[in-house]
A and B are shown apart, each in its own frame.
Chain A
Amino acid sequence: MEHKEWNWFLNYTLSKSIRSYKEIQNGGWFNSPFDRRHDISFALNWKRDKRWEFGFLWEYYTGNRISIPTSGFNDPLTGVRVFSYSTPNNFKLRDYHRLDISATLHSKPNSRNRANTWNFSIYNAYNRKNPFYIDIESFGFPQSSFKLYERSIFPLFPSVGFSRNF
Chain B
Amino acid sequence: MRTYLLTFCAILFLGCLEKSSDLILEDTDKKLVLVSILSSDDVLQIRVMHTISPLDTSINNTVLNADVKLFENNQFRETLLYSTNGYYKSSSGFRPTRGNKYYFNVVAPGFNSVETDPVIIPDTFSLKIEIKDSIYIERLGGSDAPTYIEALFRFNVSHSLSSENYFYLLEASSTFEKGTSRDFFRLPALYDGFSQISCNVYHLGSKIIYSSTCLTKSPFIQLDANGSTYFKRLGKLRKIDGQISIINEAYFKYLRDIYFQQLIPQDKLFFQSFNLHSNVNGGIGIVGVKSSQKLNLSF
A contact set with B: CB distance below 8 Å: 24-25, 66-78, 80, 82-90, 129, 132, 134-136, 138, 142-155, 157
Interface stretch, picked from B20-28, B199-207, B235-243, is B20-28
CA distance A78 to B251 in the complex (A): 12
Please name all residues of chain A whose beta carbon is closer than 8 Å to the beta carbon of B21 when the two chains form the complex: 129, 149-150, 152
Residue of A77, A145, A147 ringed by the most chain B CB atoms within 10 A = A77
Please name all residues of chain A whose beta carbon is closer than 8 Å to the beta carbon of B271 when the two chains form the complex: 66-68, 134, 136
Please name all residues of chain A whose beta carbon is closer than 8 Å to the beta carbon of B33 when the two chains form the complex: 73
CA distance A78 to B258 in the complex (A): 8
Q: Is the Cβ of A70 less than 8 Å from the Cβ of B19? A: no
8 shortest interchain CB distances as A-B pairs: A71-B51, A88-B273, A70-B29, A67-B273, A145-B57, A148-B23, A69-B54, A72-B54
CA distance A149 to B20 in the complex (A): 6
Please name all residues of chain B whose beta carbon is closer than 8 Å to the beta carbon of A80 when the two chains form the complex: 258, 261-262
A sample of 27 cross-chain residue pairs with beta-carbon separation below 8 angstroms, ordered by A number, consists of A70-B27, A71-B31, A72-B53, A76-B49, A76-B86, A77-B35, A77-B37, A82-B258, A83-B269, A83-B270, A83-B276, A84-B31, A84-B284, A86-B28, A90-B273, A134-B271, A135-B20, A138-B266, A142-B262, A146-B55, A146-B270, A150-B22, A150-B23, A151-B18, A152-B19, A153-B19, A154-B17
Chain A proximity mask over B42-56: 1 for CB below 8 Å, otherwise 0: 000001011111111
Chain A proximity mask over B32-74: 1 for CB below 8 Å, otherwise 0: 0101010000000001011111111101010000000000000
Known contacts A82-B276, A136-B266, A136-B267: A72-B51 contact under CB 8 Å: yes
Is the CB of B272 closer than 8 A to any CB of chain A?
yes
Known contacts A71-B27, A73-B49, A83-B261: A147-B55 contact under CB 8 Å: yes
Is the CB of B12 closer than 8 A to any CB of chain A?
no
Q: Is the Cβ of B20 less than 8 Å from the Cβ of A150? A: yes
Q: Is the Cβ of B274 less than 8 Å from the Cβ of A83? A: yes
Q: Is the Cβ of A145 less than 8 Å from the Cβ of B258? A: no
Please name all residues of chain A whose beta carbon is closer than 8 Å to the beta carbon of B37 when the two chains form the complex: 77
Residue of A74, A76, A144 ringed by the most chain B CB atoms within 10 A = A76
Q: Is the Cβ of B20 less than 8 Å from the Cβ of A73? A: no
Q: Is the Cβ of B270 less than 8 Å from the Cβ of A155? A: no
Q: Is the Cβ of B273 less than 8 Å from the Cβ of A75? A: no
Q: Is the Cβ of B22 less than 8 Å from the Cβ of A155? A: no
Q: Is the Cβ of B30 less than 8 Å from the Cβ of A71? A: yes
Please name all residues of chain B whose beta carbon is closer than 8 Å to the beta carbon of A154 when the two chains form the complex: 17
Known contacts A84-B29, A89-B273, A143-B269: A149-B255 contact under CB 8 Å: no
Is the CB of B135 closer than 8 A to any CB of chain A?
no
Residue of B nearest to A130 (CB): B19
